[in-house]
Copies of this chain bind each other. A is one copy, B any other.
Amino acid sequence: MSAEIVTTIAHLRELVAAARRQGRSVACVPTMGALHAGHGALIDGARAAADVVVVTIFVNPIQFDRPDDYRLYARQLDADREFCARRGVDLIFAPSAAEMYPQPTVTFVEALELERHLCGAGRPGHFRGVATVVAKLFHIVQPDTAWFGEKDAQQLAIVRQMVRDLNFPVEIVSVATVREPDGLALSSRNQRLAPAERRAAPILFRALTEGQRLIAGGERQAPAVKAAMLRILEREPAARVEYLEVVDARMQPVDRIPADVRLAAAVWFGSTRLIDNLLCRIDAE
């Protein structure tokens, strides 16, 4: 089997159970499709770690706060299948919304504290939708490991917290953000940038890099770091900042920087919202 597309939960379970009976290990890479080299890094990691690699492709309606974002989200299953086949993926689980939500779900998984800030503040219900669909996918695929990108740092923190708090029998593995040569983090949403917006977008990474440089140089006041990053972003008229924060491992904004922090930002370029983040290690000074 090579990048076989499976659309029903029952069929996917059957194939995974058969692999399990042969003693094969299973890795899951949950995605919303429109696969790029960032997903490729997740798949490569999963491929090296497990006997069976399952990529899930599902644009999850309940995590979108804006209908147009859901509607416009890139869908390209044929290209995604080729992408997966080249990388040795065994199974692509690509269910319909009706297969995943035959009735509107009334059960939700929430990591309350971690949802409060950053993307959670601007996208109400987003992380509840993410945690809920990840729980569903874990129950459907029942993988040994699941692979997530560090670009979505808050999502990663919430999934880790959910697995720990609810004792999911799955190990979460994270993979470093993959970037364009100019620093722009790979994202399916980059496709939507107009040429001028695409040229402007690397300013986000440059601002984060400047914040990281200041902290590495000894700056310990978050407001000073944020102000410096903001000055860089304000130089770019195409960029509109949604948030810019210095947060701890639990995604809570900090004022002083006593230990490792993450610089996290969401910036709009036209009608496209991009996020990015950088970890700043204090013990690495």
Contact = CB atoms under 8 A, between A and B. Distances in A.
A106 B108 CA distance: 13
Contact of A166 (B103, B111, B139): B139
A76 interface: no
Contacts of A132: 166
A107 B109 CA distance: 7
A176 interface: no
Interface residues of A, number: 28
A164 B102 CA distance: 10
Q: Is the interface of A mostly helix, strand, loop or mixed?
A: helix
A168 B135 CA distance: 9
Contacts of A110: 107-108, 110
Given A103-B165, A106-B161, A136-B166, 20 more contacts: A105-B165, A106-B111, A106-B113, A107-B109, A107-B110, A107-B111, A107-B112, A107-B131, A107-B161, A107-B166, A108-B110, A109-B109, A135-B166, A136-B165, A139-B166, A139-B167, A139-B168, A139-B169, A140-B169, A142-B169
7 contacts: A105-B165, A106-B111, A106-B112, A106-B114, A107-B131, A108-B109, A136-B165
